[in-house]
Chains A and B, each alone.
Chain A
């Protein structure tokens, strides 16, 4: 990598704050810059970090909700309404969790109500 992911994310966030209203142009130029530097392979990680940083800058939280089975629309709506508009919420399905859900906030605090956790606690 020419530059660390952290540097790309921080640069994008600062540029976004300076150029409010010109987000589309900014994103285009940013993608060109990443490609030019040969770091296109890390683009997913970069955008994930950008989403996290933007949420924090807005005063919100970065929330990751992982389900054991695909949730219904009702469940996802209910969860989204539980958090504020400033929070960035993403949903994932991980079959290894079997059932239930776990919520990770800012990558540091977790509420785990998955079935796999209960089974491990019970038998291990």
Chain B
């Protein structure tokens, strides 16, 4: 108590107040999270303003610069503001403090903690300020994507490989497993970095317009799996103002850029950009910007383009860091030709398309391999994976063509029947449960066994058991000569021979 009194006395003694004229704006209209401000002639676009309301100060961003007024979005609860409240310019644009202290924390788009674990930065002066709106790296600052981001999902790592610095869209209807893919990717980063010699990949999960219960569940899952220590969650749930939902992806991207600029690799998940587009539409309509197609503003493409362009693989001169973006888009009734989905598809370097039909048939993850693509391709795959995955896509494509004949299996020739059985086997292999990412060496081993015919005599109902037992067998008895080289990205003749022998021995032991 004494300390508080002494501090107050010191503040009072040192208080200086010299009245001087200052530029000020006045709120002339306020409501629905936006405000019209008269005055402040010299305010710049996207400038951070400070609104002095009855319950304290609130930040706002100058969005519309009109002839006699400024349209601003209020970054907080605008219910405490009233007409006549004063507004001052800050001379800065909106920025967020970024640093290693953010790892393991849940923050809002303005950088304030939401997890109740106390102050994030003990020395705020030391933390770097990263602007939410920043220029994307130039062409000369980049290099080609050459290292993989393993999701731990067999179908993706084999046929739709994602590289560090790539933008890969995850698109599908509601409840098809889009977030599950993103979370498996986060979980798998823990396994991937311990033995490969690569840096721990930092993960950033941006929740835009999600339910609070879903975000809480995700955080709990990450914490229990030990993944929260290298993850940052930026949360703008459905209950937060549209302005914060609009800013959330930019805040996450700014944090990701901090790690990228310091030579590290980061993965950022935007869940989801459909809600982000909706929040931007809401703000634009309230500010009377002219509506375009589906009432979205004319610059909706630019909104996502400038966000996703900031994900890149930097050249060695710039530190060699990378930011990989996994934006998520929700479609309605599988319509990928709608406005926002087509916009984002044209921006990203590929898409993972999830189908409801496949999901209901039990194919989970419900990835439609035919419609999914990665424009980076095998440049983002390790040598072992390239070797086994090469034939996988072709086999599955041939299987899909023959699927119509499955019901007439007795009338087919031997070769066709074998092809169908192989396709069913591969489809079964590619299924995996939620929240259980598979390390890359295990993926290679099991796909090798399947592609090279070692599992042709395994019944469909026993495929999962075979996979589990085989991988356990490799882990216990063939870790050094098979799994370790695969982990390091090596697949020479010696390793292949060892894997070959291991499969044969396993089958003999289990009398398959």
- Determine whether the beta carbon of A111 is less than 8 Å from that of B20: yes
Stretch in B21-29, B118-126, B201-209, B459-467 with 4+ CB within 8 Å of A: B21-29
CB distance from A102 to the nearest CB of B (A): 9
Inter-chain contacts of A112 with B (CB < 8 A): 19, 22
Report whether A104 and B26 are in contact in the complex, using a CB–CB cutoff of 8 Å: yes
Which residues in B have their C-beta under 8 angstroms from that of A122? Answer: 11-12, 15
Complex Cα spacing A112 to B21, Å: 8
> B56 an interface residue at 8 Å Cβ cutoff?
yes
* Interface size classification for chain A: 10 to 19
State whether A108 touches B23 (Cβ < 8 A).
Answer: yes
Chain A neighbourhood of B40, CB < 8 A? 108
List B280-309 residues whose CB lies under 8 Å from chain A: none
Nearest CB of B to A83, in Å: 14
Is B17 a contact of A111 with CB atoms below 8 Å?
no
- A107 with B39: CB separation less than 8 A: yes
Q: Of residues 104 to 124 in A, which have CB atoms within 8 Å of B's CB atoms? A: 104-105, 107-113, 117-118, 120-124
Complex Cα distance, B68 from A109, in Å, reads 15
Name the one of B12, B19, B23 contacting A113, with C-beta atoms under 8 angstroms: B19
**Cβ A110 vs Cβ B17 within 8 A:** no
Of A118, A121, A122, most buried by chain B (CB within 10 Å of CB) is A122
Q: Name the CB-closest residue of A to B22.
A: A110
Given the contacts A122-B11, A122-B12, A111 and B21 also touching, CB distance less than 8 Å: yes
Which of chain A's residues have a CB closer than 8 A to the CB of B20? Answer: 111
Q: Chain A residues with Cβ under 8 A from B86's Cβ?
A: 110
A42 at the interface (CB under 8 A from B): no
> Nearest chain A CB to B83's CB is how many angstroms away?
11
- Interface residues of A, Cβ cutoff 8 Å to B: 6, 96, 104-105, 107-113, 117-118, 120-124
20 more CB-based (< 8 A) A-B contacts, given A108-B24, A109-B22, A112-B19: A104-B26, A105-B21, A107-B38, A107-B39, A108-B23, A108-B25, A108-B39, A108-B40, A109-B21, A110-B22, A110-B24, A110-B86, A111-B21, A118-B15, A118-B17, A120-B52, A121-B15, A122-B12, A124-B56, A124-B57
14 residue pairs from A and B, CB less than 8 Å apart:
A104-B24, A104-B26, A107-B39, A108-B40, A109-B24, A111-B19, A111-B20, A111-B21, A112-B19, A118-B15, A122-B11, A122-B12, A123-B11, A124-B56
